[in-house]
Amino acid sequence: MTFDLQTYLDRIGLTGCEPTLEGLRALQSHHMAAIPFENVLPFLGQIPDVRSEAVWKKIVENRHGGYCFEQNTLFGEALAAIGFSARPVLARVRKGPPEGWNRSHLAFVVTIDGKEWLADCGFGGPAPAEPVSLETADPQTIRGQNFRIRFDEEAREQVLEREMPDGWLELYSFDRMQPTRPDIEAANYICATWDRKPFIANLMFARLTDGGRFTFLNGAARRKDDGTGEAWQIETPEAFRSYVTEDLGLGYDDATIDALWSRMSRLYPPIT
């Protein structure tokens, strides 16, 4: 399959993109706004196909979303087509143990004018909406949220952190190991099948908006916009279908949405 840059740009609502820092910022934020993070396939007991052709069909042609291996496979194709100098990294998600888990998150280090940036469209709710500079340890404010890159001397990895009300939260860490496609496919398999990962037993969505983002976990929906917030529980299959197709803009058919609702409501019954 030949990557069709114009069709991809149409999918994310971007008229054009140059291999510059401003272009990278626009590319990442438009991708995250148009293509929601979601783990529909692992939640339904399926292993996502992360080959380029399958990801293109799922996300671009069928207007579905995906989790990091799907999202960033497509994003990586776009980076290459536009002419960015980018290399993939496999990161250890932390958000718990300070040493991190296995390498189970795909992201990119992009070099522009000799400086490195962390670019990532597939981490979900806590993720920065734009690239993060790898050249400084100082906090970086991105759309009202503070992030920083800390070097972990013991692990010899850089750590992406987000400032929370009770301090800095470690999101994930990475080094410059160059993963191969089998590395990425193996990590994808583990994430989709291992019960110690969150994707089998939890249904998650996230989509960037102009002023904030939608997030969803097991029926609990939230929307944050420009400092304001709204939270609600999705309690009926009709409300769930509307949320998936309208709020998130996903193109899943009724059978898939019904299967998601059936399993989610069985695992996490709505509170009435």
pLDDT per position as a tens digit, 174-222: 999 999 999 999 999 999 999 999 999 999 999 999 888 999 999 999 9
Residue 1 has pLDDT above 70, yes or no: no
* Dihedral, 242, 248, 250, 252 alpha carbons, nearest 10: -40
Contacts by residues 225-233 (CB-CB < 8 Å, ≥ 24 positions apart): 226/144, 227/144, 233/270, 233/271
Bridge partners, residue 193, by sequence: none
Supply 15's token pair.
């008229």
Which pTM value belongs to this model?
0.95
Torsion sign, CA atoms 183, 181, 41, 213:
positive
Q: What is the pLDDT of residues 149-184, one digit of tens each?
A: 999 999 999 999 999 999 999 999 999 999 999 999
Residue 270: what pLDDT? 80
Domains in the chain: boundaries: 204-267
Q: What is the model's pLDDT at position 100?
A: 61
Mean pLDDT (the chain, rounded): 95
The per-residue b/e assignment along 36-72, b for 16 or more CB within 10 angstroms, e otherwise, is bbbbbbbbeeeebbbebeebbebbbeeebbbbbbbbb
Nearest of 86, 85, 63, 59 to residue 3 by alpha carbon: 59
Residue 88 confidence class, pLDDT cut points 50, 70, 90: very high
